[in-house]
Amino acid sequence: MGKKVTVYSTPTCPYCIKTKKFLKESSIDFTDIDVSSSTEKSQEMVQKTGQMGVPVVDIDGKIIVGFDKEAIEKALAS
């Protein structure tokens, strides 16, 4: 799987933690971006999604908002 996976998250968000745990358990390499420590990355996330909710998972440009295991698996498989 050569997909580029980016997770926009915050350290205290329980769904962010679940998302990253799921990706790690699935042996998916991903870049974790802490939007609480970077205004620039926070704005980048809002531009991609139009909203402030985390986690946001970007899989090769496919945006998934929230921890949606089925959507993540489907995006990784396509």
Provide the domain limits for residue 73.
Answer: 5-77
DSSP-assigned states of every residue in 12-75: T-HHHHHHHHHHHHTT---EEEETTS-HHHHHHHHHHHSS--S-EEEETTEEEES--HHHHHHH
Quick check: 1 pLDDT over 60? no
Is the bond into 11 cis (omega within 30 degrees of 0)?
no
Percentage of the chain beyond pLDDT 90 is 94
- CATH code of 16's domain: 3.40.30.10
Quick check: 45 pLDDT over 60? yes
> How many structural domains compose the chain?
1
Quick check: 69 pLDDT over 70? yes
Confidence class for position 78, pLDDT limits 50, 70, 90: confident
Evaluate if pTM is beyond 0.75. Answer: yes
